[in-house]
Structure 1
């Protein structure tokens, strides 16, 4: 498959912007193709639609809060809206409408990692059942996985969720994602990205320094994916999500 060079605004930006606007109104703002990896599930998970769909409150609790992200600054605190609302119309373009079929709620949370000047975006769609989430997975990745930059490469984020796909690339423009990951946990699809909030030398670093930077970025993405998927699994079991970075 031919590599894509992406220098435009990422596809998910419209969804993030719509929810960020909603966060402002409610005072929540703080200072390669699809076909991802799949895990062989248990007998219970093998039953179509067996996962419990999340309520609006549960979907919000899955998004990391300040307690789950020590040392990071909240830019947009967790906000969730119904898919049939105005912001829901911006999630999936007409060409990828299937990705929103069966969606009940969507939400976003954004943090900044001051030590590396990296923006961390968390986004999700909670579906009415597991089959809807599974059917939407490849369509969502085909759309949202495009915005990762130049010369994207697959990244391993561990055996999180029932499906997962991740890739990293050299940023095409300042503020564009350097890595993205998509994970399905039951009836919920999770998406996260990391992006340099300001000027970065990632694309020009050479030799040992570049390898060190890449390895650190991959470890960050893996840790964030584990955190996000862990919170979704806790919510699916009816627990209050407590997973946090470093804990």
Structure 2
């Protein structure tokens, strides 16, 4: 008789390079791998318990993300973030967020909306307490919107942008815009109304506020 089909859905298996990439990203974010630190193949093999091939594939991705610098026959090292790179990456991410809001808000179903509201509430709490987890909330917000927007090119670009922004945010705590908390209620209201244009307007206003904030900080440091 024919073999019956399984009723249990198999979750997709992650490629080794993706597992390695996730571990290395986490190590960069928590400071285990520090800016300027050289990466040694043998040490990475021992730490990660895999062969050189998936490690090199993951490193190639980290180079694409701007988190690792490589020069043939000289060095492979964790990049050193600077303020200009952070400003540029933040500017791009806010532009992407505006597009994602405009395209995703009209498509939100009730489950997506509930998840979005939870993310925004986490953002409010962390920003009010000046907690670095604010950066993770912003990433969660953007990634959720990009998923709902269902635009493959936008998703591909965001995949490389989000780790770069989070890495560059390590430059200094004072560059985090804690007043992002004031955008939570307007964004939640626009999301509930499935109003992409209203949400995009909030993002544009937020982008201007962030730009003014950074210019003020730069001027004070000059």
Q: TM-score, normalised by structure 1?
A: 0.26
Tell me which protein shows more strand as a share of its residues. Answer: 1
Tell me which protein shows more helix as a share of its residues. Answer: 2
> Whose radius of gyration is greater, 1 or 2?
2
